[in-house]
Amino acid sequence: MAVGKITVKIRPAVRFAYGLIDTAAPPAGQLVGVLTLGIPTQAAVLTSVFRELTPYADSLEMNRLVLRDEVPANAETWFQARAFRLAAARGIRGIVAHSDPELRLSLADGTS
Protein backbone atom coordinates (compact mmCIF):
# COMPACT_ATOMS: atom_id res chain seq x y z
CA MET A 1 0.00 0.00 0.00
CA ALA A 2 1.43 3.39 -0.91
CA VAL A 3 0.38 6.97 -0.25
CA GLY A 4 2.59 9.39 -2.12
CA LYS A 5 6.11 8.51 -1.05
CA ILE A 6 4.96 6.41 1.93
CA THR A 7 4.90 2.68 1.32
CA VAL A 8 3.58 0.19 3.87
CA LYS A 9 5.45 -3.09 3.40
CA ILE A 10 3.21 -5.38 5.47
CA ARG A 11 -0.26 -5.83 4.03
CA PRO A 12 -2.81 -6.87 6.64
CA ALA A 13 -6.09 -8.66 5.94
CA VAL A 14 -8.30 -5.74 4.91
CA ARG A 15 -12.09 -5.75 4.83
CA PHE A 16 -12.69 -2.04 4.16
CA ALA A 17 -10.31 0.61 2.82
CA TYR A 18 -10.94 4.36 2.81
CA GLY A 19 -8.98 7.06 1.02
CA LEU A 20 -8.53 10.71 1.96
CA ILE A 21 -8.58 12.87 -1.17
CA ASP A 22 -7.33 16.45 -1.13
CA THR A 23 -9.69 18.48 -3.30
CA ALA A 24 -8.18 21.89 -2.46
CA ALA A 25 -4.41 21.72 -2.90
CA PRO A 26 -3.00 21.30 -6.41
CA PRO A 27 -3.17 18.88 -8.02
CA ALA A 28 -6.83 18.50 -7.01
CA GLY A 29 -7.99 14.96 -6.38
CA GLN A 30 -4.69 13.70 -4.96
CA LEU A 31 -4.76 10.73 -2.54
CA VAL A 32 -3.18 11.92 0.72
CA GLY A 33 -4.28 9.26 3.19
CA VAL A 34 -5.45 5.67 3.59
CA LEU A 35 -7.25 4.00 6.50
CA THR A 36 -8.00 0.27 6.51
CA LEU A 37 -10.24 -1.84 8.72
CA GLY A 38 -9.68 -5.55 8.80
CA ILE A 39 -8.98 -8.81 10.50
CA PRO A 40 -6.58 -8.81 13.48
CA THR A 41 -4.11 -11.63 14.11
CA GLN A 42 -6.49 -13.22 16.64
CA ALA A 43 -10.25 -13.05 17.16
CA ALA A 44 -9.53 -12.37 20.85
CA VAL A 45 -8.41 -8.85 19.91
CA LEU A 46 -12.07 -8.18 19.12
CA THR A 47 -13.91 -10.53 21.48
CA SER A 48 -12.04 -9.31 24.57
CA VAL A 49 -13.51 -5.84 24.00
CA PHE A 50 -16.75 -6.56 22.13
CA ARG A 51 -18.04 -9.78 23.70
CA GLU A 52 -21.56 -9.36 22.28
CA LEU A 53 -20.40 -8.73 18.67
CA THR A 54 -19.47 -11.30 16.04
CA PRO A 55 -15.78 -10.88 15.18
CA TYR A 56 -15.04 -9.92 11.55
CA ALA A 57 -18.76 -9.38 10.81
CA ASP A 58 -19.76 -6.80 13.46
CA SER A 59 -16.31 -5.77 14.68
CA LEU A 60 -12.94 -5.11 13.06
CA GLU A 61 -9.52 -3.70 13.85
CA MET A 62 -8.20 -0.46 12.41
CA ASN A 63 -5.06 -1.97 10.98
CA ARG A 64 -3.59 0.95 9.02
CA LEU A 65 -3.77 4.76 9.07
CA VAL A 66 -1.30 6.49 6.78
CA LEU A 67 -1.30 10.19 5.87
CA ARG A 68 1.19 12.27 3.96
CA ASP A 69 3.20 14.67 6.13
CA GLU A 70 1.71 17.76 4.52
CA VAL A 71 -1.85 16.85 5.55
CA PRO A 72 -3.04 19.56 8.01
CA ALA A 73 -3.27 19.08 11.76
CA ASN A 74 -6.34 17.24 13.07
CA ALA A 75 -6.92 15.56 9.71
CA GLU A 76 -6.17 12.15 11.23
CA THR A 77 -8.98 12.55 13.77
CA TRP A 78 -11.42 13.85 11.14
CA PHE A 79 -10.53 11.08 8.68
CA GLN A 80 -10.78 8.36 11.31
CA ALA A 81 -14.20 9.60 12.50
CA ARG A 82 -15.48 9.76 8.92
CA ALA A 83 -14.22 6.26 8.10
CA PHE A 84 -15.78 4.87 11.28
CA ARG A 85 -19.15 6.42 10.35
CA LEU A 86 -18.93 4.89 6.86
CA ALA A 87 -18.09 1.49 8.40
CA ALA A 88 -21.06 1.80 10.80
CA ALA A 89 -23.31 2.38 7.79
CA ARG A 90 -22.07 -1.00 6.49
CA GLY A 91 -22.93 -2.81 9.73
CA ILE A 92 -19.70 -2.49 11.75
CA ARG A 93 -20.58 -1.85 15.41
CA GLY A 94 -17.16 -2.02 17.04
CA ILE A 95 -13.63 -1.07 15.98
CA VAL A 96 -10.46 -1.69 17.96
CA ALA A 97 -7.91 1.05 17.25
CA HIS A 98 -4.48 0.82 18.86
CA SER A 99 -2.22 3.83 19.23
CA ASP A 100 1.47 4.10 19.88
CA PRO A 101 2.50 7.26 21.75
CA GLU A 102 6.16 6.77 20.80
CA LEU A 103 7.63 8.04 17.54
CA ARG A 104 9.14 5.01 15.78
CA LEU A 105 11.72 5.51 13.09
CA SER A 106 12.82 1.88 13.19
CA LEU A 107 11.74 -1.39 14.76
CA ALA A 108 13.12 -2.59 18.08
CA ASP A 109 15.58 -4.87 16.26
CA GLY A 110 17.03 -1.88 14.36
CA THR A 111 15.37 -2.54 11.01
CA SER A 112 13.08 -0.01 9.38
Indicate the pTM of the whole model.
0.78
**Cα 10 from Cα 7, distance rounded (Å):** 9
The residue-averaged pLDDT of 28-37 equals: 91
| 22-to-12, 32, 53, 67, 75 alpha-carbon distances in Å | 25, 6, 35, 11, 11
pLDDT score for 73 = 80
Rounded (10°) CA dihedral 103, 21, 73, 40? -40
Q: Indicate if the pLDDT at residue 109 is higher than 90.
A: no
Does residue 46 register a pLDDT over 80? Answer: yes
106 pLDDT band, cuts 50/70/90, is low
> Which tens digits make up the pLDDT trace of 77-91?
999 999 999 999 999
